[in-house]
Structure 1
Amino acid sequence: MERRSIGAGALAVGAVGLGCMPMSWAYAPSRRRGQESLAAVHTALDLGSNLLDTADLYGPFTNELLLGRVLAERRSEAFVSAKVGLRAGDQHVVADGRPGYLRRACDATLRRLRTDVIDLYQLHRVDPDVPVEETWGAMAELVGAGKVRALGFCALGAGAGPGAGRRGDRAYGTTVRHLERAQQVFPVSAVQAELSVWSPEAAWQLLPWCAARGVGFLAAMPLGSGFLTGTLTPGEGFESQDVRARHPRFTAHAMASNQALVAGLRRVAGRHGPGVTAAQVALAWVLAQGPQVVPVPGADRARWAAENAAAAEVRLTAGDLSEIAALPAAVGAWD
């Protein structure tokens, strides 16, 4: 698989990563199968999708424990991307950027992952009650201590992703200001935010910022929380604990309207051979947004991990990209 750089070329990863979140958090609880998820991780590593993205929030903690079972056998083959700064409160997820908390959380993550070092440690959210310089400085100390190799920001500016607020973090202007302030303390190696055919906003401001500074960009939810795979049908019900049950793009009306996006991706896929899927075209579009962009699609089954990895071989033409750009904007947005 093609390799892409994270952080001014200092770190290299497979062009398509693996998002581990669906294995233990956010989506349908009834689908969670530990052995099948382990098989997905092994398949991803076999095919070169070595960036494994996790977080202590996912579960909480169970995602890291599951991934640790694979890393105990194959640590040298993996690039571990973990997150800190969000924790489950009594009623909802809360940001916590206090230095003492970050240090304790890092040590706990290392134990659960069964590793001595985290390749990329991302701030999951900025804590509004702690100056970002203080939080980022504490994370930089973890690099100095040899527990972390590089630092990144996650989900800044994301629209309606799991754990995101209905407003707040969606302002990309605020994101860039946080990034600039953090950059004065310690280099930002990567930024992770939602980027897909139906959520292209990050390409307008965050991607240029990253490209100008040699910062990697991890594209979260590049398959639109599963919608762009074409496997979900309008009116499909979601379990109450599945975040899509409350997502305005997954109402019956929105899903019916947004089928036009899937149809467009399928048309493009048809020109690239009988085995190419709408999901692979959606990932190829993300890859085409810049050489520093690494899509991190979630997968909890080996067959999905294999299909996603194969997207690295799909090369979209200028005509393909123009056709995708002309597709209608997605229906359904937070108020």
Structure 2
Amino acid sequence: MEYITLKNSDLTVSRLCMGGCPMGGYGWGAVQEDELIEAVHTALEQGVNFFDTADTYGLGQSEKTLGKALGERRKDVVVATKFGVRIVGGKTIYDNSPEWISEACEASLRRLGTDYIDLYQVHYRDDVTPISAVVEALDRLKKKGYIRYYGLSNIHNEDIAELMPYVGKFVSFQDEYSLACRKNETDMFNISDKIRVNPLTWGSLGQGILTGKYTKDNVNFKSDDRRSRDIYVNFHGDKLMKNLEIVEVMKQIAAKYDKPVSAVAIRFILDYLPESAVLCGAKRPDQVLGNVEGADWKLDADDLRILDEASR
């Protein structure tokens, strides 16, 4: 396994991070808690020490499952979770108010079964609360010992000016990035450089389209799978066809290195985005084992270029 130390921190994390969205259960088809727990244990055995979740995944179920799975191993890992998304009256709202940050943090601590969170992240900005108020609230949580460090998610170039006075405060940021989604690439390079934070990628396998197991004939997901919805563009229309073209290129490269297709998707990010960590969700141990094959090797320059060009 490969490791990096997140900037402005002493958090040494595996460059492969186990994403916790599937642990929430909702929208992921058939999900079994015992398999999820076994998947976490498999990740630990493979050297993964970085686990990311959010209070909104399964309305807290993901945090509960992760805490249960880690058990006494909690002290050996870096746990990251997020705040800022609430369900009020059946509607999803963004809330970065200091009051909600404090309330959300205490609730996450209870669900995770821990007395501290290593990395507490703003899931989405609410476009109301000044970043100064967010930082002050997070610093109060640090002083209480509830959190060790804090980070950002889903920010873009237009947010840089507001964040510049707080360079050195945040340690990381997340955004969607993969061979199937490169629209945020310029923003990610700029934010990494100017705010001096490590990039963490979500959607790294394109919600599964980059695993190589799908064709245009087997993407008719049931209604309990979020990918059945048009908003998950990777599995619909022209975007699906483009992704399948990318996957054909990936298959050739995977065969060259004797790796699964998913490992090529992960390796591209690790090689292309400096000092990054890749978030990959997993429902079962075998998926974890496939993902960890993305670590500890390199794509040569020609293959990196081929993947770069194919995914433009």
Alignment partner for residue 206 of structure 1, among 165, 181, 188? 188
**TM-score, normalised via structure 2 length:** 0.93
Q: Alpha-carbon deviations, 1:220-245, whole Å to 9, x = none?
A: 11111111111222242123343322
Q: 1:230 to 1:201 in 2, by over 3 A?
A: same
Unaligned segments of structure 2, at least 5 residues: none
Q: Alpha-carbon deviations, 1:6-33, whole Å to 9, x = none?
A: 124621111211001012245333x111
Q: 1:208 to 1:27 in 2, by over 3 A?
A: same
Q: Secondary structure at the match of 2:175?
A: strand
Q: 1:132 to 1:8 in 2, by over 3 A?
A: closer
Separation in structure 2 between the aligned mates of residue 65 and residue 98 of structure 1, nearest angstrom: 24
Whether the 8 Å CA contact 2:179–2:311 is kept in 1: the answer is: no
TM-aligned CA deviation for residue 135 of structure 1 = 1.9
Separation in structure 2 between the aligned mates of residue 12 and residue 134 of structure 1, nearest angstrom: 28
**TM-score, normalised via structure 1 length:** 0.87
TM-aligned CA deviation for residue 310 of structure 1 = 2.0
TM-aligned CA deviation for residue 178 of structure 1 = 4.1
Answer yes or no: is 1:216 the counterpart of 2:215.
no
Where has structure 1 moved over 4 Å in runs of 4 or more? none
Mapping 1:175-214, distance limit 5 Å: 175-181=159-165, 183=166, 187-211=169-193, 213-214=195-196
TM-aligned CA deviation for residue 212 of structure 1 = 5.1
Separation in structure 2 between the aligned mates of residue 240 and residue 253 of structure 1, nearest angstrom: 21
| Partner of residue 54, structure 2 | 55
Whether the 8 Å CA contact 1:4–1:291 is kept in 2: the answer is: no
Q: Secondary structure at the match of 1:219?
A: strand
Separation in structure 2 between the aligned mates of residue 121 and residue 20 of structure 1, nearest angstrom: 14
| Partner of residue 292, structure 2 | 309
Separation in structure 2 between the aligned mates of residue 85 and residue 117 of structure 1, nearest angstrom: 18
Mapping 1:98-247, distance limit 5 Å: 98-156=97-155, 172-181=156-165, 183=166, 187-211=169-193, 213-235=195-217, 236-244=219-227, 245-246=229-230, 247=232
Q: Indicate the RMSD between aligned Cα atoms, in angstroms.
A: 1.8
Q: Secondary structure at the match of 1:296?
A: strand
Answer yes or no: is 1:326 the counterpart of 2:309.
yes
| Partner of residue 275, structure 2 | 292
| Partner of residue 71, structure 2 | 72
Separation in structure 2 between the aligned mates of residue 21 and residue 111 of structure 1, nearest angstrom: 18
Q: Secondary structure at the match of 2:206?
A: coil
